[in-house]
Structure 1
Amino acid sequence: MDNDSGDDAVWQTALDWLMREHEETLSDVDREALHAWLAVSSLHRRVFHEAEQLWMLTGLIPSGDERN
């Protein structure tokens, strides 16, 4: 992602959600808040997806088999 566009806050929020999602089980309220944040704009969805891809590529997120 090109953070020169001033989207650092969106990038940081996406990373925060991603870390929370993978470090703990989100409550129903938290999951609804994440979905609401993603629904705000296509930028939020794109950045969150990019963060997920980056983490998977770097091995920071275990595969589905490893999480179960």
Structure 2
Amino acid sequence: MNNDSGDEAVWQTALDWLMREHEETLSDADREALHAWLAASSQHCRVFREAEQLWLLTGMVPRSDERR
């Protein structure tokens, strides 16, 4: 069984969270939902961090110490 569609869905969700996190201030409920999604799977956390690093390398996302 090919799991590419599952991987793609995780990447898309990670990117959606990154965009929301950097385009707007997340509410407490949104932040809790993000943390729950990250905690639900080591893959979620890994992919989110990979996506964040990719965005950092392309200059699209400020470093965490520059966000606030």
Q: TM-score range by the shorter chain?
A: 0.7 to 0.9
In structure 1, the gaps of 5 or more residues are none
In structure 2, the gaps of 5 or more residues are none
Amino acid corresponding to residue 18 of structure 2 in structure 1: L
Structure 2 SS opposite 1:60: coil
Shift of 1:5: 3.7
What is the TM-score with the length of structure 1 in the denominator? 0.85
Amino acid corresponding to residue 51 of structure 2 in structure 1: A
- CA distance in 1 between counterparts of 2:53 and 2:4 reads 20
Does 2:27 align with 1:60? no
What is the TM-score with the length of structure 2 in the denominator? 0.85
What is the RMSD computed on CA atoms of the aligned residues?
1.4
- CA distance in 1 between counterparts of 2:28 and 2:39 reads 16
Q: How high is the sequence identity, in percent, across the aligned residues?
A: 75
Aligned residues between the structures: 64
